[in-house]
A and B are shown apart, each in its own frame.
Chain A
Amino acid sequence: MQLSTIPPRSYVISKSPSAAKQMTSSTLDRLLFLHGGGVMEVCGSSSVTLREFGCEQSLLSRPDGSASFIQGDTSVLAGVYGPAEVKVSKEIYDRATLEVLIQPKVGLPSVRERSQEQCVRETCEASLLLSLHPRSSLTLILQVLHDDGSLLSCFLNAACMALMDAGLPMSCLFCGVTCAIDTDGQIITDPTAAQEKESRALMTFAIDSTERRVLMSSTKGSFSVHELQQCIAVSQKASEKIFQFYRDSVRRRYSKTL
């Protein structure tokens, strides 16, 4: 298990909350989009803070790949099976069938889990090279161990580590970052459950490792275009830390065979 410590978080965007309610795009926004092709720039203070995170790979004996990912008190366990035999009804002739199952801590999966499954599945499909294993099935199972906010981003991170552990061909890595905008207009990255409850808007982005592009976004609440762009910029900045953590974590895993 590996942990990285990060200083306490505070993040301020440069716009006032009253102006932020307008849903118009300013010239500044357009400039933000034009800058550096895809990767946006954060204005204001430049330190992005995340909770402590930890990861362990191949901890389960039965699945082909497994990982547990911990962000603060949020903890998810992921297992990957595949490429394995596929049911005829689910067979796709030119690529692998990816199935994502989310198991909540208690009870049966409901509508909320279904929508999260779809978010994770579409992100994984974008980064995996599924055409290299046609007519086979990949199953990704995500078990919630504890939910203390930023659950969807934790799912994404655990999924990426588990897919990497299974040795499936991927074109790039991805990570999930959750941003909350509180009532003062402050952006909080990687919020806890209490911070999520108090927030005005909640957004989760999946970001790829090669060009820092947004692969998936899931949003809740009301926010302006500028705030959305700021959140994307903050997430892209935060993703660098997560990708660096991935690298350190995998390096530790392979340290015995170097």
Chain B
Amino acid sequence: MFSTLMVRVGEVLLPGDEFSCETDDTISLTDHVKPEKVVCGPGLRRSGDRLVVCKSGVLRHKQPNVFWIDSQQRRYVPAKGETVIGIVTTKSGDIFKVDFGGSEQASLSYLAFEGATKRNRPNVQVGDLVFAQFIIANKDMEPELVCIDSSGRANGMGVFGGGGLLFRVSLGLVRRLLSPHSEIRSDLDQLFTCELVVGMNGRLWVRSSSVQQTLIIANLLQSCDTMTAPQRRELFRRVKQGAL
């Protein structure tokens, strides 16, 4: 199965495409036989001994044996461990309800902030933005967010300060921004200095020295969605020369 998958890495696949796992009829008795393992990411499903594609997109591979489908979608489906930007919608007793753009609201305990105790409550108001990560995210349970990591540190998470601008982009662009050697990010670095928070749910938050610059960055990032790499470089070059 590994080799059949490897051949099609980088191709566009559609739901219903299948990979069958053909086992060898002969087993070598002398060689050490290692069982083939394939880890399926989003968009791939196991069905019996076959692998079925269930989303349209590009097949991607990561060493050693991880495969997934890279698709462009707008609606976020929570996954454990992902960091998102949420909006606090209600405050009831000791939990906050947070809207993160999914199918239901997530809960966020008031104790899940750095340094919070029963005495010392965090200052969170309805309407505030929070940067948090999922500790529970599965289809059968209510999603739960926390603003601390496993060692109890904020690690960049928590309530947002004043200023800045929140806007939405596609989930595909967010993943491209967060990839280790993102070209978009390095292009943007050369252009303006800014503070950028990227939520996996397609929400971006930007703050820079002036309102005008913030708006330019927001517009640039939103237009990156529909541009190829050369088009983007051309646009960034023009902005750098002061076209806007």
Do A and B bind? yes
Q: Contact between B103 and A173 (Cβ–Cβ < 8 Å)?
A: no
In the bound complex, residues from chain A placing their C-beta under 8 Å from that of B70 are 257
Chain A 155-170, CB-CB to B under 8 Å as 1, else 0, gives 0000000001111111
In the bound complex, residues from chain A placing their C-beta under 8 Å from that of B45 are 129, 169
Q: Contact between A250 and B54 (Cβ–Cβ < 8 Å)?
A: no
Q: Contact between A210 and B16 (Cβ–Cβ < 8 Å)?
A: yes
Say whether B128 faces chain A, with CB atoms less than 8 Å apart: no
Chain A 113-145, CB-CB to B under 8 Å as 1, else 0, gives 000000000000001010011111100000000
Say whether B213 faces chain A, with CB atoms less than 8 Å apart: no
| CB proximity of B107 to chain A, nearest CB, Å | 15
Say whether A58 faces chain B, with CB atoms less than 8 Å apart: yes
Say whether B109 faces chain A, with CB atoms less than 8 Å apart: no
Chain A 168-198, CB-CB to B under 8 Å as 1, else 0, gives 1111110000000000000000000000000
Q: Contact between A85 and B16 (Cβ–Cβ < 8 Å)?
A: no
Q: Contact between A167 and B75 (Cβ–Cβ < 8 Å)?
A: yes
Interface members, chain B 80-133 (any A CB < 8 Å): 102-104
The 8 Å CB contact of B104, one of A132, A136, A253, is A136
Q: Contact between A169 and B54 (Cβ–Cβ < 8 Å)?
A: yes
Give A83 to B77 CA distance when docked, in angstroms.
Answer: 8
Q: Which residue of B lies closest to A248 (CB)?
A: B12
Q: Contact between B57 and A171 (Cβ–Cβ < 8 Å)?
A: no
Knowing A64-B74, A173-B15 are in contact, say whether A134-B139 is a contact too (CB < 8 A): yes
Say whether A256 faces chain B, with CB atoms less than 8 Å apart: yes
Q: Which residue of B lies closest to A132 (CB)?
A: B139
Q: Contact between B75 and A173 (Cβ–Cβ < 8 Å)?
A: no
In the bound complex, residues from chain B placing their C-beta under 8 Å from that of A133 are 77, 103, 139
Tell me which of B14, B55, B57, B104 has the highest count of chain A C-beta atoms within 10 A of its own C-beta.
B14
The 8 Å CB contact of B14, one of A84, A173, A208, is A173
Say whether B208 faces chain A, with CB atoms less than 8 Å apart: no
Q: Contact between A258 and B58 (Cβ–Cβ < 8 Å)?
A: yes
Q: Which residue of A lies closest to B99 (CB)?
A: A85
Q: Contact between A170 and B103 (Cβ–Cβ < 8 Å)?
A: no
| CB proximity of B231 to chain A, nearest CB, Å | 9
Q: Contact between B54 and A85 (Cβ–Cβ < 8 Å)?
A: no
In the bound complex, residues from chain B placing their C-beta under 8 Å from that of A168 are 55
Q: Contact between B103 and A164 (Cβ–Cβ < 8 Å)?
A: no
Say whether B172 faces chain A, with CB atoms less than 8 Å apart: yes
Q: How many residues on the A side are at the interface (Cβ–Cβ under 8 A)?
A: 38
| CB proximity of A40 to chain B, nearest CB, Å | 20
How many chain B residues sit at the interface, stated as a range, is: 20 to 34
The 8 Å CB contact of A65, one of B74, B139, B172, is B74
Give A58 to B72 CA distance when docked, in angstroms.
Answer: 10
Give A82 to B172 CA distance when docked, in angstroms.
Answer: 17
Say whether A251 faces chain B, with CB atoms less than 8 Å apart: yes
In the bound complex, residues from chain A placing their C-beta under 8 Å from that of B227 are 256
Give A184 to B57 CA distance when docked, in angstroms.
Answer: 45
Interface members, chain A 222-242 (any B CB < 8 Å): none
Say whether B228 faces chain A, with CB atoms less than 8 Å apart: yes
Q: Contact between B54 and A171 (Cβ–Cβ < 8 Å)?
A: yes
In the bound complex, residues from chain B placing their C-beta under 8 Å from that of A136 are 103-104
Give A86 to B104 CA distance when docked, in angstroms.
Answer: 9
Say whether B219 faces chain A, with CB atoms less than 8 Å apart: no
Give A166 to B77 CA distance when docked, in angstroms.
Answer: 12
The 8 Å CB contact of B228, one of A83, A210, A246, A256, is A256
Say whether A209 faces chain B, with CB atoms less than 8 Å apart: yes
| CB proximity of B179 to chain A, nearest CB, Å | 12
The 8 Å CB contact of A170, one of B16, B58, B75, is B16
A-B contact pairs, 16 of them (CB 8 A): A58-B72, A65-B74, A82-B75, A83-B103, A86-B103, A129-B45, A136-B104, A167-B72, A167-B73, A169-B54, A170-B16, A171-B54, A247-B14, A253-B72, A254-B12, A254-B57
Q: Which residues of A does B touch, CB under 8 Å?
A: 58, 64-65, 82-86, 127, 129, 132-137, 164-173, 208-210, 246-247, 250-251, 253-254, 256-258
Q: Besides the contacts A137-B103, A164-B56, what 12 more A-B pairs have beta carbons closer than 8 Å?
A: A82-B75, A127-B15, A129-B54, A166-B73, A166-B74, A169-B15, A172-B15, A254-B12, A256-B228, A257-B172, A258-B12, A258-B58
Nearest 4 interchain pairs by C-beta? A167-B73, A172-B16, A136-B103, A170-B15
